[in-house]
Structure 1
Amino acid sequence: MKIYKTLKTTLNILLLITVFSCVKDDGFSTPKVECTEPLLTVTNTIQQAKELYTFGSPTVIDTDVIIEGYVVSSDESGNIYKSISIQDKPENPTSAIKIAIDQTDLYTKYNVGRKIYIKLKGLAVGYSYGSIQIGKVINGELTGISKFEVDDYIVRSCEVAEIVPKKVTISELNKEMLEMLIEIENVQFKANELGSSYANIDNTETVNRTLESTSENCEFLDEIDVRNSGYADFKSELLPEGKGSVIAVFSNYYNDFQLYLRSTEDVQFNESRCDYISIVEPNITIAEVKAMYSDTMVEFGVNNNYVVEGYVISSDENGNFEHKLVIQDAAENPSAGIQILIGTDAIFEQFNIGDKVLVKLDQLYMDKNEGVLAVGYPKNNKISEIEEEAISNFIFNTTESFEIIPTEISIDETSNPVYENILVTVNNVQLVQSELGSAFAFFSGTDDGFRTLETCGEPKKLKVFTNGNANFANELFPEGHGKITGVLSDVIEVRNVQDIDFDETFVECPVIVPKIMITEVADPKNSVSSRFVELYNAGTTKIDLTGWKLNKYINGSTTVSSNGVDLSGITINTGDFVIIANTGYAAMFTDVPEVETSYISGNGDDVYELVDAFGNSMDIYGVIGEDGTGTNWEYLDGGAVRNLEINEPNSEFDVSEWTVFSNANNLLINHPNTPKNAPDDYSPNLR
């Protein structure tokens, strides 16, 4: 054993001496890698190979077709998967194509700039996801070339060229450029995506980010998606916030163009970004925008360049204001507000309460949404939400923020349209007694809900809307007395539970019994367009007529004619009148009717009925189901006046409460053969 060890040691020493005697004194030299250029003859160009495809199934090549190209893609970062893209020239290419290969780490063999030859015999040219590609056919479908066969078809050249990206603008991109390496200058990621990473850091889903191009003067031009794999090693990197150039492989998904980055080194944003604030100035007010509306959808056009400024007063952080952004024209003492419908969640993350925003109205529309004026996209003749990916095209946050001071109003002012889409504080309110112990919406489930607020002694009630998905929807509604802050429409919508400040004890309100009466019905002989009905408040409190209607029954019908006259928005004070008249009334009489409508056309034999907001019959003139001709209540070419001693409405018609005049020869009425002419024979607004 000792002899063996001695011999082994001697041999090792001799081996070391031999090795070091072969090394030059000037250090280690890198072994030279020999490369032999393959002896292949190119038969077709890339473009000619693409033209081998005929519409339908992939075209299998059965002849000795050989093409060449330069690799422009790289899967080193993991963003490009199982494919390489080649183009016909290192600079100013005219054609390019993708080759599907069922193998990863292709960059180690087919590095960027490497010239390669592709022997197409046995391969196929086919259509995949909207573009022509090279691959293998299995079961009639185009698939990747097997990693065990790839060397049979793709041969490396010794040439490695410098690839010069083709400089283009987004608007110049077309299908002829697919799979080329391109460079686009003056681009930036959209403002709403800043702060985001290239892809999702928590999963492996692919994510699109949007590049927008600008002119040298910061005019916004075009957009294109950047496709980022959830397996890319740069997926957790934040998007750069500047502006500059992007180099990428130009690809598509059917008709949607998209870019594939090889690495983030291809993104060079070294300039200051362009933002709307630097190029856009408000040139129209919210009030002027709202004034454009006249009961039909408003189209803002494409070249009017309307830009409106507003202050955010809504927040969906707690679940209300779903898909709605509400702005008003001032942080304090605003004069107008409006809704913008947007199809995204967590709006508050982009637009906080108090943020000043600019809204570009070109290509948008305006119409009523659930009775409230709103801006958005048109859909099926209705106003709808701006799509999520388009929001930043229209709404820009200036990053300036202000304290919003709510406008203080009373409950009876909540019907005033001037406060629509305004942040208000309604003082001296409480939940109506019948709803004490109720939740904001419901104690379980996700149905939307309404609560009703009142002020003692005031007829007006105010509904509080709560989205069923709000995080407070199932909580108990406060039961005290105080004030509520929220955005007003036909209801009030709060941002959170802190918007309700009921710091006083609940007050039991006396019950208000409305005493709204029909006191005169007129059918002037000389002017059918001057017909009118007079209402009178004989009670001790003013009454809000929201939801009330005046119905008409014609020629003995038992069914209401049309939909009746809606009296919403009218408040009638104690001892006051409301005139509901035909369209010629104002030309004949000196006063102006509260409601002007051709619905008031009773010609002496028709019934008028007053109903409240709950559909209860409150008062009536005539007998439903009876044609008035020849009856004791016929008022043809005359009228009927409520007797002064009658100060209570009556849902059951009693002719003894009335004095009736008619041109008819009808002895059943008080004054037959007594026509009346306007205006002298009538005394509207007087008892």
Structure 2
Amino acid sequence: MKKYNSILKYIFIVMASLFITGCVHDDKYNEPNLENFQCADLVKTMTLTDLRAKYTNTVYTFPDNSTDVVEGYVSSTDETGNIYKTIYIQDKPEDPTQGFVISVDMVSTYTQYPQGSKVYIKLAGLSLGTYGGVVQLGVKDPTSTTSVLRIPEKVVPSKVFRSCTIREKIVPKVMTSAQMVAANDQYIGCLIQMNNAEFDSRVLCSNYAPNGVTVDRLIRDNSTTTTRVVRNSGYASFANQILPAGNGVFVGIYSKFNSTYQMYINKVTDLKMTNFPRLDGIASNPCEFSATGLNQKTVADVKQLAAGLAPSGLVQITGDFYLKAQVVANDETGNLFKYVYVEDATGGIKVNMNKTDLYLDNRFRLGKDVYIKLKGLYIRNVSGELQIGSNDSSSAIAYRIKEEDIYKYLYDSNEPSRQVVPTEKTISQLTNADVGRWIKIKDLQFIDGDLGKTYSDGNSTTNRTLEDCSGKTIVLRTSGLADFGTSAVPMKPGATEIEGGKGDVYAVLSVFNGTYQLWITRLSNIDLDNPRCDGTVYTPLPVIYSDGFAAGGFSSDWTTVNVTGPNQFWTTSNQGNGSNYYAVLTGVLNNVNEDWLISKSVSLAGKTKAILNFTTDVRYSGNALQVYATENYTGNPATTTWVQLPATLDTNTAAFGDWVSSGNVDLSAFLGKNVRIAFKYTSTASAAATWEVDDFKIKGQ
């Protein structure tokens, strides 16, 4: 019995601890108890300025027998979680002349080295290197000549010592935005203060950072029109708090990344930014919604304001109206772009804003209720769909509310997100009153002609057709630029085959010139797991042969041939792609080359249908990659009879990373035969692109 009481007591303590730590929602913490932490008072042998001078252009490592010691005062604190595995120090608690960055592989450093502590650092065995152009102290990275690794947590106590007797109040150094230039890089790591500071109107009324996402918020003062960056972690305890909307004092750690000067907040209580009017003329807090003097309208009322509006027509809302509606679809997966759909009991409507990643803003999270001040906005008829936006038709804006004006019209209700409940309809029941709603249509399937296709053709926005069991159809429209996966495991529509069964579809309903269209926000919105209307179970074409080049290098399945030009060959790489390798050929400018990558022979004997599918990525201008097939490879590309295949290829030469699916390339000409696939790369004296190929598959049955 005594044993069980002890266990219960332990569980109670753990649960109580979790409850206490789970209730911290601001940055007010008790002072850490330092009684049991190691401390020492050492004698410095060099200044932080001397230390900084040790680094030139390559890593500098102090000998293991070095007796050098530097001292400084901790300017940062990681108790709110906004600063991660870094201790910032400066040479004096007030009016510093040098700051510095110590990279440590430990968290909660404030418990041992709280802000204001005088610290001594034994330099023996430590190294100086850079990250983002900023010199920092760490340990040697054997793979780099310029950067260093974090000091291991178990090593930190033997290198960084807190003074047993001295702890000072850090007085921030006053700096203006105009002074944040290379000539003042010695202050990087110091606590600084910017007066007359205000967050840019483009980020007003948004939170410090979305959950789990690190973002940059722009800030300015009256010294220059140039904005600076405040970098906020989505893991900070204050991440969900709303940015201060006024003018005043900003205090943070001074830093930079390459050429971008940025600051890190220690605690939001360091910020005193409540003064109005602001430099930009905003006279009062713009983030607090008040319905005083306003009349509430429903979505149906708003649409009625534009009754009879011709396509492409605009009408301004002049009344003192507001709308309260729930966000039912946003841009989290990129299938919607620069807009959200909102809905109330009377209907739904699209709200256009000239800003990406709206879903990261508290106001536009799925299920949130948002207030919209309507006066001054416009209703536009876009090919039959009424939408809210502006009258700004300047290039690339497309009648969207300007980013810097969003705060004027859209307000957080400060109410918890609610479940988005779809309106259940059949295709036959749909009317214009449903446009803008989040709907559910039961028992749909893709038409036979779409089976085996991907959700989009490459990066294009593509129509696929869904039907019910009575033969009624509706369009599913999908952007090829969407990503239904994660950053670690992307799932591009152009490389994702549609489901072949029957089931329920959840989507927002739009209309284009009288044709109803569905837009999903994630792949789970389409759940087609049941047998098709005719009772059959669709089976995707089996993969006969595939190679994702995952292990790096080419197996004997592939032949690389250099036909013309300097001796260069296709190879594999995982650069920028984590552990995922791909085939690649990077041409050299001024080289006139022809290089082939040829697959092994794959048998299509007994097959009645066969397709080829792969993905490509291109960078830099140059000739398009050519894709061929043959049934009689001679061992020499020049003497082989090739059939060119009409594959879809990446065309964005300006950037890596936008992998494009080839689509399902028909191989019916080779049914019953053995087929090889080849990729032909060519470059000229004036153009040499980089071409990458991955996810190679031949399917058939």
Scaled to the shorter chain, the TM-score interval is: 0.3 to 0.5
Q: Which has the larger radius of gyration?
A: 1
TM-score using structure 1 length: 0.40
TM-score using structure 2 length: 0.39
Give the structure, 1 or 2, with the largest relative contact order (CA under 8 Å, sep 6 or more): 2
